[in-house]
Amino acid sequence: MKKIALTLTLLFTAALLWAGKPVKVQTLINEFRHHEGFESVSVGPLGLALVKTIVLADDDLDSEDREVLRSFDQIRHLSILDFEDGAEEVKARFVKKVRRILDGMSLIVEVKDKGNHLSIYGTEKNGRLKDCILFDPNGTLICVRGTVCIDKLMAAVNND
């Protein structure tokens, strides 16, 4: 369970690095989620609070893990679109539109490994990360709206 909590923490952490434009990205997700091979999940504040409560109820979490999870209180919305199984033509159109939205945004981290590619976009202001997009052009777009303290984020990354 500790690995699941850490994975969720890293996901939310990375997701908080977005440079804005959440409405355009959400509109794009809504436009494409009905295409065959495109699957989406959207979780609002109540759903996120429920997941956090369930994870915090795990007896295997130490006090540091609990504190890290509590640092994500300011996350308001999470949207995930998986388009890996979509038709190539529709995927190409979607990726082109995503790239247009991301153009001009701050690239925070880019990871390339054995054909996999993940880009994370976001902004930092006053020691906090606000709204982010994680984008893998091979099949995943994750948008997180909210903020997290960078110090607590770094504690999460270094807490293993």
Helix (H) / strand (E) containing 7: helix 2-15
pLDDT band at 106 (very low <50, low <70, confident <90, very high): confident
pTM: 0.73
**The pLDDT of residue 129 is above 80:** no
Q: What is the pLDDT of residue 154?
A: 65
User: Residues 6 or more apart from 75 whose CB is under 8 A from it?
Assistant: 12, 15, 16, 48, 144, 145, 146, 147, 148
Total structural domains within the chain: 1
22-55: pLDDT as tens digits? 678 888 999 999 999 999 999 998 998 888 888 8
The mean-pLDDT minimum among 10-19, 88-97, 123-132, 146-155 falls in 10-19
**Placement of tokens 């065959």 in the chain:** 36
* Domain housing 55: 2-158
* Mean pLDDT for the stretch of residues 58-86: 83
For residue 155, what pLDDT band results from cuts at 50, 70 and 90? low
Q: Are the C-beta atoms of residues 88 and 151 closer than 8 Å to each other?
A: no
